[in-house]
Amino acid sequence: MSQQDLHPSPDEVGALAKLFWEEEGHPEGRAMEHWHRAENELRRRVIERMAAATASPNPPAIQGLS
C-alpha cells in the first residue's frame, strides 16, 4: 500500500463531507469536522478493499483430501 493510496482526492473528500453535512441537516460551523470524517472514512474504505484483495478466498488444497 503506497502513501498515495491513503490520500483521497479533494473532490472525493468534498463530496463525502457534503453528504455528511446534508445528512446532519446542514449544521453551520462543522465543515472541518465533516472534512476530517470524510477523509478518515475514505481511507478506511481503501484499507478494507486492500485487505479483502490480499485475503485468500480459497485456501490451497491439501493433497490427499477431496
Give 18-47 pLDDT, tens digit per residue: 999 999 999 999 999 999 999 999 999 999
pLDDT band of residue 64 (cuts 50, 70, 90) is low
Q: Is the pTM of this model over 0.75?
A: no
Q: How far apart are CA 30 and CA 22, in angstroms?
A: 12
Q: What is the pLDDT of residue 10?
A: 96
Domain boundaries, the chain: 4-54
Gyration radius of the chain's alpha carbons: 19
